[in-house]
C-alpha cells in the first residue's frame, strides 16, 4: 500500500469528499453494530406525567432521576407523555409446527427493548391526601392510567403511580381517610397496593428518590425475569430439525434479557451457548450466510464485552480469534465479496473499541497485543473492501441511473437479510432476475461510498496505539496508508504533511522502492497545492540515482525544474493528477511564476537523497600559521542532464573565514562527472591551536528574480548511502571537513643538559640553552621552568634555584617554577643559563621547560607580514637518589652490640657509610649533633675526612659517647642526635659542598644502681704479671652490699681474693685488685668477675657482664739471639 499509485485507480467522478453527502442508506450501514448492542445493558424505565418545561418541581424530579450525583443503578430513564404510543405487541404463538422463519433476528428487536419498550412505567401525578378536589383529581389520574394501559397493549410492563405531594410526610394509619383514599385509588386504577408511592417534594427529596429508584429497579428485574420465562416457554415449543433459526433467535433473546436483568455471568454462559448453537446450525447458503455472520458477530461482541468486564482478556482474545478464523473464508457471493471484507472490518473495529475501553479502565496491554493491532486489521479489511468495490462494482456504477432512486433498496426486516429475500421465508425460491437487479443496485451503492472516510479513522486509532507502544516502523507504515487515503479524497494538504513526515525514515533505512511510491504522491500534492519548496525537494530527489525511474521521466522532471527556476514558466502537469484538480493547479502555477513573489527558500541537501553529492577536502590534516590553507569542494551530479548552480559558498564554524571561499559565477555539473573547486586562504592568528571545520557548503539553484533554492550541505558533505555510484570513483574521493591550525613552528632551538641521576641534598645543575635559527630576530623571549612531582603533586619535595645560595643564607628559598627572560636573539645567536634543582626526598620528577618567542613571517608576497607568537617545550624526567646508605650500631666496651644505654656508662657508636651513587664522591668531613645529655668521650674529629668513595665503597668510623646524668632528668629513651656528612662530586672540584644528615633513632635509656670501671693495660706479655683493678661505684643514696667472685680462666693464673663481700657507702666506691699471670698468647678470655648485688632491685647478669672487659691481647715474650737454636749440621 505504501507504493500504491493513485493514478491506477481511475474512477467515475464522485459527488463530494464529504461523507455526509454520499448515499447513506439503511442497507449501506447494515453491517454496522447497532447502538443498542454496543451500549451497556441498563433497565429501561419510563417516567410519565412530568411536565419538565412548565413545572419546576417536575423538572427537579426529572433532573434528580436522570442526572443526580449519586451511585445510580444501571437504569436508563425515559421521559414520555401519558399518551405515548409503545411498540405494538406481536401475537403470541401457541405452536411452531407450521411456522417458517424468514430470518434469525429482527433488526428492530434490540432497539425496541433498550430504547422503546420500558420494563416499568411510572406515572407521576400531583395530588395530596387532603386535596379538596380529591374526586376530580382521582378521576383524572384513573383516566391517565387507562391511556397508558391501552398504549402498552396488554404487555407485562409494570405500571406504578407516584403521587407528588407538597405536604410533609406523615404516617398513614389503617382506617384513616388517607388509607381509604389510597385503597380506592389502587382499585380504580387496577394496580396493586404496592405499586402506589408517595413523593413528598421537600427541600431535600434525594432520599425519597433513592428509595423510589430502588423500588423501580426491583420491579424492572422482575419484568425481565418474566420475559425470560416467556421466551423459554416459546423455545420449548421448537423443533430442533425445522426451527434452527428460531432456536438461535430465542437463545439470543434469553441471553439479552438476562444481561438486562444484570446477571452478567449467567448472560455470558447463555451467549456462548447461543454462539455454539449458531455454529452447529450454520447453513452455507448465499441467501442465509450473511444473516448467520451478522448474528454471530453480535453474539461474539456481547461475549467479548462481558469477558472484558469479567477481567478475562486472554479468554476474550481467544474467543475473538476463533470467531474471525471461523468466518474468514465465508465470503458469500463472489460479486458481493466486498461485503465480507466490510463485515470483517466491522468485527475487528468493534473488538478494538472494546479492547481500547478496557485499557482505559486499567488493563495492561503489551506491544504484541494492544488495540492498535486490531484497528490495523480493520483498516486492512476496509482497504480490501475498497479495492474489491473498485474492481467489482465499476460496471454496475456506470450503468446505474443517476441519481439512484431514494431509497434504492427497501429496509430489511432482519439483520443480514438480502434485499431479494424480503418477505420470503427460507422455503421460498428467489427470483433470479430480482436477485441480479438487487446485486447491481448494491454494487452501485457500494461504489459511490467514500471508503476513505471509514479507513482514515481506523488508521488514526491504530497510529495512536502503535505510537504509545513505541512501534516506530509500524507507525510510519500506517501514516503512509493514511496519507494515500487523504490523497484519494483530495485532502492534499493532509496527505502532503503525513507523507513528508515519513520520508526521513525511508531514506535512513534506504527503502528506495517504497520511497519512490511516496515521492510520486508527494510531487502530485505539491503540484496541485502550488508548493514550490516541496515540489523542488521532491523533484531533486526523483532525478537522482537513488530513485529508480526511466530516463525520460527524470528528464521531464528536470526540465520542469529548469522552467520554474531559470525561465519563470509553469511546470508541465504531473501524470496521474485528477482532472478536476489539474486546471486549478495550472492556474495556480501560472500566477506563481508571473507575479513578483519572492520564491527563495533553503533546502537541507544533506538530509535528502539529493541528485547532487558534495564533499569537502582539506589538503592536509593540519596547516601551519605561516602557510596558506588549501580547501577543495567536490560536486557530483546524478541528474540525467547538465545541472547549473548559480553560486557557491563555503561557511566555517569560525565566521572570519567566510569571506574567502565563495564563487559568484555559474558552475555547470555534467552528469556523472566530478567537479572540483579549489580555494586558498591564509590561516588567521586567532584560530591558532584550534580546529578549522567546514560548517556548511551552500549552492544556489536558480536565478535571482525568478526562483532560487539554496542547497545546504551541513558539515560540507552529503548523506552517505550504501547504493554504489555507477561508472565513477566518487567513493574514492577523499573527505576531510576539518583541519588543525598549528602555530608557527619555532626555529629557536631549545636544549636542556644535565647528568642524572640527581643526588639527594645536592644542588643539581640543569643547563638551558637557546639558539635562534629564524630568518629574523626573535624577541619577547621567555623561558618557563615548571617542576612537578610524578606520584604526589600535592606534596612537593623539590625546588628550583637560579643560583646556589650561600650556606649561611636562609632568606633565599626555591620555588616550583622559574621564569627566565633572555634578551633579543639575532639569527644564529645563543643564550645559556644554569638553574639548580634541590630535593629533600628521593623520587622521580618532571621538569617542563617552555620557551616563548615572537617573530615576523611572510606567507605570500601579496599578503602582509604576520607576527607569530610561537613556543617550544621539552619535558625532562629527573630521578633523584640517595648518595649514601648509612647504618650504625651501639657497642659496649667489649665491642658487643647493645639494645639499650645506661646512665654514665660509656658506649661506642659505629657508623657505616655505603656509597650508592653512580658518581665518585669525596667526603670532606663529618660530625655528630648530640643530645644535650650525650657527650663524646675522647677527642672529636672526623675519621672519614677526605675519603673518596666509588659506588659500593664503604667508610666507617667509631666514636665513644656517654650519657651523663643530670639532676631532674628522668628520661627512659634518648635520641642520640644526628650524623652529618659533608660531600661533593669528585669530578667537579669547583662544586659546592653538600650536606647529608642522618637522624639517629632513639635508644632505650636505663638507670643502674652501680657502675664498674676497669683499669687494665691494653695488652700483656706472656708470663709477665698483668695487674688488673675493678672499681665498683655506689650510685644510690643507700649503703649497698656486694659479693665478688673471681672465676678462673685457662689462659691465666691470678692472685687476689677469690671470693669477698664488701659494703659501699652512698656515692663511694670500692676497688678490687688482682694480679694476672698469662699462660698463652693471643686474644685470651680474662678470669670472669661475678658481682652479686645483695639488695633489691637486682640488675641482670647481662647488664653486669656488659660493664666488664672479657678479653685481652697477650704478646709473646721477646727472644734473645743467643737463645735461638742453631740448625743441625
Say if residues 159 and 93 touch (Cβ distance below 8 Å).
no
Average pLDDT of the chain to the nearest whole number: 85
- As to burial, measured by CB atoms within 10 angstroms (0-12 exposed, 13-18 middle, 19+ buried), residue 810 is exposed
Structure confidence by residue, pLDDT tens digits, 366-391: 888 999 999 999 999 999 999 999 88
pTM: 0.67
The model's confidence at residue 895, banded by pLDDT at 50, 70 and 90, is confident
Across 587-604, average pLDDT: 82
Closest by CA position to 568, among listed 705, 695, 471 = 705
Whole-angstrom distance, CA of residue 295 vs CA of residue 289 = 10
Structure confidence by residue, pLDDT tens digits, 928-938: 888 888 888 87
Across 8-36, average pLDDT: 47
At 993, list the grid cell.
659542598
Query: Would the pLDDT of 153 be above 60?
Result: yes
Beta strands in 892-1022 (DSSP E): 901-902, 907-915, 921-930, 934-937, 947-949, 954-963, 973-974, 977-985, 994-1000, 1003-1006, 1010-1015, 1019-1021
Closest by CA position to 268, among listed 280, 254, 281, 282 = 254
- As to burial, measured by CB atoms within 10 angstroms (0-12 exposed, 13-18 middle, 19+ buried), residue 444 is buried
At 933, list the grid cell.
645529655
Query: Would the pLDDT of 730 be above 80?
Result: no
994 DSSP β-pair partners: 983
Say if residues 1036 and 1096 touch (Cβ distance below 8 Å).
no
DSSP 1024: S
Rounded to 5 degrees, φ, ψ at 727 are 65, 15
DSSP 1008: -
The model's confidence at residue 863, banded by pLDDT at 50, 70 and 90, is low
Task: Provide the percentage of residues in the chain whose pLDDT is more than 70.
Answer: 90
Greatest extent of the chain over all pairs of C-alpha atoms, in Å: 193
Q: What pLDDT sits at residue 686?
A: 78
**Who's near 132: CB < 8 A, 6+ residues apart?**
none
Closest by CA position to 90, among listed 249, 256, 281, 299 = 249
Candidate from 109-113, 315-319, 473-477, 821-825 with smallest mean pLDDT: 821-825
The model's confidence at residue 1129, banded by pLDDT at 50, 70 and 90, is very low
At 192, list the grid cell.
396493586
The model's confidence at residue 950, banded by pLDDT at 50, 70 and 90, is very high
Q: What pLDDT sits at residue 742?
A: 83
Say if residues 636 and 651 touch (Cβ distance below 8 Å).
no
Q: What pLDDT sits at residue 862?
A: 61
DSSP 738-757: EEEEEPPPP-EEEEEE--SS
Query: Would the pLDDT of 963 be above 90?
Result: no
682 DSSP β-pair partners: 628
Q: How many helices (H) and strands (E) does the chain have?
A: 22, 47
Say if residues 997 and 1012 touch (Cβ distance below 8 Å).
no
Q: What pLDDT sits at residue 276?
A: 94
Whole-angstrom distance, CA of residue 535 vs CA of residue 533 = 5
Taken as a whole, the chain contains a residue count of 1129
Query: Would the pLDDT of 1122 be above 70?
Result: no
The model's confidence at residue 70, banded by pLDDT at 50, 70 and 90, is low
Structure confidence by residue, pLDDT tens digits, 515-560: 999 999 999 999 999 999 999 999 999 999 889 999 999 999 999 9
Of residues 712 and 97, more confidence is placed in 712
At 25, list the grid cell.
442508506
Query: Would the pLDDT of 124 be above 60?
Result: yes
Say if residues 40 and 556 touch (Cβ distance below 8 Å).
no
Q: What pLDDT sits at residue 8?
A: 33
At 271, list the grid cell.
451467549
At 406, list the grid cell.
431514494
Q: What pLDDT sits at residue 614?
A: 92
Q: What pLDDT sits at residue 5?
A: 36
DSSP 173: -
Beta strands in 758-899 (DSSP E): 758-759, 763-772, 779-789, 798-801, 817-820, 830-839, 843-857, 866-881, 884-891
Q: What pLDDT sits at residue 724?
A: 54
Q: Can you give the three-state secondary structure of 674-705, one letter per residue?
A: EEEEEEEEECCHHHCCCEEEEEEEEEEEEECC
Query: Would the pLDDT of 750 be above 60?
Result: yes
The model's confidence at residue 594, banded by pLDDT at 50, 70 and 90, is confident
Of residues 130 and 308, more confidence is placed in 308
The model's confidence at residue 12, banded by pLDDT at 50, 70 and 90, is very low
At 1022, list the grid cell.
706472656
Q: What pLDDT sits at residue 643?
A: 94
At 15, list the grid cell.
459527488
Q: 3-class DSSP state for residue 236?
A: helix
Closest by CA position to 297, among listed 271, 332, 259 = 271
- As to burial, measured by CB atoms within 10 angstroms (0-12 exposed, 13-18 middle, 19+ buried), residue 319 is middle
Q: What pLDDT sits at residue 414?
A: 87
Pairing mode, if any, of strands 674-682 and 667-669? unpaired
Helices (H), 84-172: 109-111, 134-152
Q: What pLDDT sits at residue 272?
A: 95
Task: Provide the percentage of residues in the chain whose pLDDT is more than 90.
Answer: 35
Q: What pLDDT sits at residue 1?
A: 35
Say if residues 149 and 191 touch (Cβ distance below 8 Å).
no
Q: 3-class DSSP state for residue 233?
A: helix
Of residues 17 and 592, more confidence is placed in 592
506: left (phi over 0), alpha (psi -120 to 50) or beta: alpha
Candidate from 209-213, 437-441, 814-818 with smallest mean pLDDT: 814-818
Residue with cell 489539474: 582
The model's confidence at residue 858, banded by pLDDT at 50, 70 and 90, is low
Whole-angstrom distance, CA of residue 1011 vs CA of residue 965 = 13
Radius of gyration of the chain (CA): 60
Cα angle value 338/448/16 (rounded, 5°):
140
Say if residues 852 and 785 touch (Cβ distance below 8 Å).
no
Amino acid at each position: 500500500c505504501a507504493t500504491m499509485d493513485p493514478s491506477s485507480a481511475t474512477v467515475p467522478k464522485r459527488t463530494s469528499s464529504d461523507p455526509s453527502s454520499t448515499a447513506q442508506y439503511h442497507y449501506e450501514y447494515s453491517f454496522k453494530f447497532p447502538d443498542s448492542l454496543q451500549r451497556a445493558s441498563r433497565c429501561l424505565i419510563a417516567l410519565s406525567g412530568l411536565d419538565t418545561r412548565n413545572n419546576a418541581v417536575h423538572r427537579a424530579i426529572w433532573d434528580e432521576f436522570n442526572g443526580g450525583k449519586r451511585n445510580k443503578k444501571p437504569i436508563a430513564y425515559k421521559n414520555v407523555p401519558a399518551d405515548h404510543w409503545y411498540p405494538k405487541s406481536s401475537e403470541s404463538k401457541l405452536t411452531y409446527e407450521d411456522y417458517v422463519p424468514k430470518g434469525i433476528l429482527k433488526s428492530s428487536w434490540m432497539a425496541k427493548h433498550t430504547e422503546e419498550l420500558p420494563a416499568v412505567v411510572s406515572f407521576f401525578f400531583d395530588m395530596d391526601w387532603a386535596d379538596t378536589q380529591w374526586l376530580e383529581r382521582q378521576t383524572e389520574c384513573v383516566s391517565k392510567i387507562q391511556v397508558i394501559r391501552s398504549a402498552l397493549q396488554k404487555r407485562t410492563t409494570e405500571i406504578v403511580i407516584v403521587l407528588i405531594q407538597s405536604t410533609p410526610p406523615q404516617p398513614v394509619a389503617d382506617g384513616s381517610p388517607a388509607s381509604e383514599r389510597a385503597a380506592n385509588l389502587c382499585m380504580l386504577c387496577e394496580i396493586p397496593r404496592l405499586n402506589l408511592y408517595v413523593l413528598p417534594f421537600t427541600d431535600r427529596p434525594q432520599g425519597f428518590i433513592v428509595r423510589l429508584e430502588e423500588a423501580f429497579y426491583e420491579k424492572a428485574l422482575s419484568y425481565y425475569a418474566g420475559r425470560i420465562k416467556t421466551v423459554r416457554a416459546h423455545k420449548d415449543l421448537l423443533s430442533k430439525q425445522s426451527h434452527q433459526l428460531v432456536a438461535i433467535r430465542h437463545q439470543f433473546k434469553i441471553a439479552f434479557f438476562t444481561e438486562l436483568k444484570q446477571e452478567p455471568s449467567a448472560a455470558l454462559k447463555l451467549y456462548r451457548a447461543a454462539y455454539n448453537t449458531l455454529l452447529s446450525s450454520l447453513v452455507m447458503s448465499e441467501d442465509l450466510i450473511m444473516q448467520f455472520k451478522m448474528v454471530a458477530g453480535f453474539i461474539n461482541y456481547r461475549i467479548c464485552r462481558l469477558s472484558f468486564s469479567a477481567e478475562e482478556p486472554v479468554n476474550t482474545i481467544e474467543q475473538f480469534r476463533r470467531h474471525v478464523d471461523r468466518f474468514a473464508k465465508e465470503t458469500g457471493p463472489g460479486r458481493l465479496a466486498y461485503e465480507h471484507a466490510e463485515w470483517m472490518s466491522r468485527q475487528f473495529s468493534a473488538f478494538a473499541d472494546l479492547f481500547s475501553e478496557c485499557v482505559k479502565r486499567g488493563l495492561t496491554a503489551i506491544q504484541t497485543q494492544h488495540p492498535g493491532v486490531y484497528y490495523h486489521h480493520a483498516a486492512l479489511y476496509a482497504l480490501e473492501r475498497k479495492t474489491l468495490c473498485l474492481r467489482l462494482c465499476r460496471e454496475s456504477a456506470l450503468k446505474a441511473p443517476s441519481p439512484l432512486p431514494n431509497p434504492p433498496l427497501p429496509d430489511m426486516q432482519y439483520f443480514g437479510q438480502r434485499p431479494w429475500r424480503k418477505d420470503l421465508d427460507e422455503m421460498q425460491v428467489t427470483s433470479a432476475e430480482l436477485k441480479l437487479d438487487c446485486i447491481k443496485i448494491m454494487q452501485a451503492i457500494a461504489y459511490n461510498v467514500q471508503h476513505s472516510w471509514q479507513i482514515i479513522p481506523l488508521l488514526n486509532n491504530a497510529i495512536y496505539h502503535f505510537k504509545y507502544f513505541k512501534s516506530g516502523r509500524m507507525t510510519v507504515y500506517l501514516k503512509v496508508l493514511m496519507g494515500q487515503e487523504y490523497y484519494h479524497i483530495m485532502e492534499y494538504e493532509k496527505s502532503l504533511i503525513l507523507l513528508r513526515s515519513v520520508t526521513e525514515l525511508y531514506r535512513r533505512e534506504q527503502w528506495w522502492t517504497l520511497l519512490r511510491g511516496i515521492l510520486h504522491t508527494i510531487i502530485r500534492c505539491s503540484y496541485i497545492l502550488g508548493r514550490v519548496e516541496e515540489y523542488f525537494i521532491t523533484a531533486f530527489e526523483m532525478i537522482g540515482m537513488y530513485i529508480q525511474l526511466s530516463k525520460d521521466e527524470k528528464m521531464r522532471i528536470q526540465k520542469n525544474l529548469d522552467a520554474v527556476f531559470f525561465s519563470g514558466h509553469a511546470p508541465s502537469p504531473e501524470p496521474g493528477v485528477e482532472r478536476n484538480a489539474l486546471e486549478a493547479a495550472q492556474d495556480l502555477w501560472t500566477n506563481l511564476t508571473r507575479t513578483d513573489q519572492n520564491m527563495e527558500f533553503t533546502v537541507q541537501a544533506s538530509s535528502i537523497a539529493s541528485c547532487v553529492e558534495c564533499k569537502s577536502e582539506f589538503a592536509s590534516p593540519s596547516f601551519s600559521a605561516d602557510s596558506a590553507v588549501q580547501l577543495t569542494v567536490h560536486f557530483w551530479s546524478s541528474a540525467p542532464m547538465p545541472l547549473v548552480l548559480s553560486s557557491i559558498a563555503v561557511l566555517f564554524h569560525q565566521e572570519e573565514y567566510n569571506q574567502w571561499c565563495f564563487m559568484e559565477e555559474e558552475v555547470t555539473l555534467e552528469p556523472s562527472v566530478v567537479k572540483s573547486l579549489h580555494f586558498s586562504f591564509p590561516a588567521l592568528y586567532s584560530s591558532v591551536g584550534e580546529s578549522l571545520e567546514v560548517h556548511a557548503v551552500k549552492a544556489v539553484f536558480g536565478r535571482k528574480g525568478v526562483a532560487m533554492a539554496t542547497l545546504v550541505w551541513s558539515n560540507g558533505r552529503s548523506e552517505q548511502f550504501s547504493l554504489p555510484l555507477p561508472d565513477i570513483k566518487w567513493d574514492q574521493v577523499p573527505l576531510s571537513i576539518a583541519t588543525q591550525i598549528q602555530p608557527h613552528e619555532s626555529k629557536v632551538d631549545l636544549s636542556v643538559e644535565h647528568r642524572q641521576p640527581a643526588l639527594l641534598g645536592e644542588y643539581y645543575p640543569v643547563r638551558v640553552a637557546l639558539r635562534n635559527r629564524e630568518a629574523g630576530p626573535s624577541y619577547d623571549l621567555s623561558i618557563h621552568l615548571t617542576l612537578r612531582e610524578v606520584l604526589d603533586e600535592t606534596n612537593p619535595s623539590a625546588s628550583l634555584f637560579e643560583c646556589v645560595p650561600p650556606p649561611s643564607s636562609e632568606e633565599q628559598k626555591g620555588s616550583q617554577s622559574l621564569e627566565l627572560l633572555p634578551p633579543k636573539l639575532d639569527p644564529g645567536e645563543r643564550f645559556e643559563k644554569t638553574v639548580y634543582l634541590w630535593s629533600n626526598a628521593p623520587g622521580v620528577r618532571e621538569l617542563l621547560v617552555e620557551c616563548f618567542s615572537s617573530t615576523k613571517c611572510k606567507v605570500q608576497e601579496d599578503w602582509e607580514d604576520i607576527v607569530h607568537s610561537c613556543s617550544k617545550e621539552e619535558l625532562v624526567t629527573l630521578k633523584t637518589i640517595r648518595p649514601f646508605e648509612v647504618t650504625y650500631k651501639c657497642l659496649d666496651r667489649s665491642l658487643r652490640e647493645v639494645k639499650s644505654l645506661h646512665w654514665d656508662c660509656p658506649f661506642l657508636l659505629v657508623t657505616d657509610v655505603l656509597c650508592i651513587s653512580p658518581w665518585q664522591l669525596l667526603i670532606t668531613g663529618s660530625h655528630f649533633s648530640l643530645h644535650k645529655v650525650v657527650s663524646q668521650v675522647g677527642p672529636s674529629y672526623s675519621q672519614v675526612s677526605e675519603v673518596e668513595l666509588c659506588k659500593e665503597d664503604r667508610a666507617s668510623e667509631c666514636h665513644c659517647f656517654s650519657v651523663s646524668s643530670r639532676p631532674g632528668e628522668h628520661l627512659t629513651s634518648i635520641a642520640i642526635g644526628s650524623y652529618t656528612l659533608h660531600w661533593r662530586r669528585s669530578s667537579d672540584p669547583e662544586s659546592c659542598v653538600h650536606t647529608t644528615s642522618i637522624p639517629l633513632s632513639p635508644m632505650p635509656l636505663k638507670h643502674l644502681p652501680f657502675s664498674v670501671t676497669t683499669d687494665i693495660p691494653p695488652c700483656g706479655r706472656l708470663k709477665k704479671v698483668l695487674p688488673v683493678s675493678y672499681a665498683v661505684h655506689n650510685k644510690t643514696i643507700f649503703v649497698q652490699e656486694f659479693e665478688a667472685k673471681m672465676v678462673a680462666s685457662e689462659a691465666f693464673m691470678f692472685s687476689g681474693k677469690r671470693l669477698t663481700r664488701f659494703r659501699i657507702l652512698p656515692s663511694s666506691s670500692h676497688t678490687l685488685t688482682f694480679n694476672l699471670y698469662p699462660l698463652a698468647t693471643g686474644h685470651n678470655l680474662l678470669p670472669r668477675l661475678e658481682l652479686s648485688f645483695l639488695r633489691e632491685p637486682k640488675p641482670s647478669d647481662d647488664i653486669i657482664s656488659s660493664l666488664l672487659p672479657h678479653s685481652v691481647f697477650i704478646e709473646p715474650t721477646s727472644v734473645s739471639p743467643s737463645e735461638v737454636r742453631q740448625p743441625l749440621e
